[in-house]
Structure 1
Amino acid sequence: MKRFWIINLVLFQACWLCAAFLPSALSAPLMVTLCTIHFWLSPSRREDAIILLLVPLGLVADAAQISLGVFSAGDSFFPFWLVMMWVMFTISLNHSLGWLNNCSVTILILIGAIGGTSSYWGGMKAGVIEPLVASHIVVLSLVTVWAIVVPTFVHLRRQLMQSAQQPNPLS
């Protein structure tokens, strides 16, 4: 499916809207449904499943900021909607965010610093993320984390996809 990136983009944005504007009891099943639709329609299920190995890195990035008291993401320590956002972000690297694979490290740092921070800032404005320190500290933390996350994820995605293409010597 040549134009699957459009479907992925719509599903990714729909997940963000669910997380930002719906109560957890409603957003969680909707986000799982949207992710299921992604995998059902995806022309690259295997690659999408492989890239999910990166999700724990994103969870650690957010868990560190939550633990350090930069922001809170709800009543529970780590809400399910945030896990699902990392799932959708990660698999989007194979589709709607696939263009990042052709960017230099400098551009990836800038995109991460601006794009990732903007997404979280939108989450704060929507009320699903609560800043726990001064705004400039939250922004500095997010800029730093996302300037590292995006190039790291793109690099690791390349490594995972190269490994997936190599024949298994044990078979």
Structure 2
Amino acid sequence: MAKGSKSLLALNAVLFQLVWFIAVQGNNRYALLALLFLLVVHFMLMKPDRQELRLIVAVPVVGIVADTLIMNAGWIEYHGTHHFIIPIWLCVLWVAFATTLKHSLNWLFKTFWLPPLMGLLVVPFSYWAGIRLSGSQPLIPMERLLLLEGLFWAVLLTLIGHIERKQEQP
């Protein structure tokens, strides 16, 4: 399979969804094992370049810091959290998500208007499902939490899209 083939893009999306489902169950050990599997497959088949490696590091750092701030602000209580930082299973989601940016989610960044729209209107449903499946509890009204998450993701995906379009310019 050639890098960027439809089969690899589908595999990238399926592996992310598999890791997402395992991680939101709240078991850190299984989440880490699933992430390890995803990363081995990703590095063997996708052969990330420097730009992608930067995304795979930077995006999780931004996401983990943001979710930790949201948790410490008292907006949500994540299942399995007993410390200052978000649980490992949620950190795993951020790393897994970053592996999709140059592959199965690359289509999202082809226009300037689609990333904020998806971030605001679609990503909150993933948070809602993750909260339900993980046993986490919003500490503010769910609608407000989802709106705040949507705004965060609209900004994050817009920034990623801007970076992606800039890197593609000659």
Q: TM-score, normalised by structure 1?
A: 0.83
Deviation string for 1:37-84 (max 9, x for gaps)? 111211434443122233212222212211211112232431122222
Partner amino acid, structure 2, of 1:32: L
Match of 2:118 in 1: 111
Match of 2:72 in 1: 67
Q: Could you tell me which of 131, 148, 155 is aligned with 1:124?
A: 131
Q: CA deviation at 1:16?
A: 0.4
Match of 1:138 in 2: 145
Q: CA deviation at 1:9?
A: 0.4
Unaligned runs of 5+ in 1: 167-171
Unaligned runs of 5+ in 2: none
Distance across 1 between alignment mates of 2:72 and 2:29: 24
Deviation string for 1:84-111 (max 9, x for gaps)? 2111212211000000121223x22110
Q: Could you tell me which of 24, 35, 44 is aligned with 2:48?
A: 44
Distance across 1 between alignment mates of 2:92 and 2:66: 15
Identity of aligned residues (%): 27
8 Å contact kept, 1:111–1:147: yes
Q: CA deviation at 1:128?
A: 4.3
Match of 2:60 in 1: 55
Give the count of matched residue pairs. Answer: 162
Distance across 2 between alignment mates of 1:153 and 1:128: 30
Match of 1:30 in 2: 34
Moved over 3 A (4+): 43-47
Match of 2:156 in 1: 149
Distance across 2 between alignment mates of 1:134 and 1:54: 27
Q: TM-score, normalised by structure 2?
A: 0.83
Distance 1:158 1:57, change over 3 A: farther
Partner amino acid, structure 2, of 1:112: G
Q: Once superposed, what is the RMSD of the aligned Cα atoms?
A: 2.1
Q: Which has the higher helix share?
A: 1
Residue 95 of structure 1 aligns to a residue whose secondary structure is coil
Q: Could you tell me which of 5, 15, 18 is aligned with 2:19?
A: 15
Distance 1:37 1:48, change over 3 A: same
Match of 2:10 in 1: 6
8 Å contact kept, 1:120–1:129: no
Counterparts of residues 75-86 of structure 1 (less than 5 Å)? 75-76=81-82, 77-86=85-94
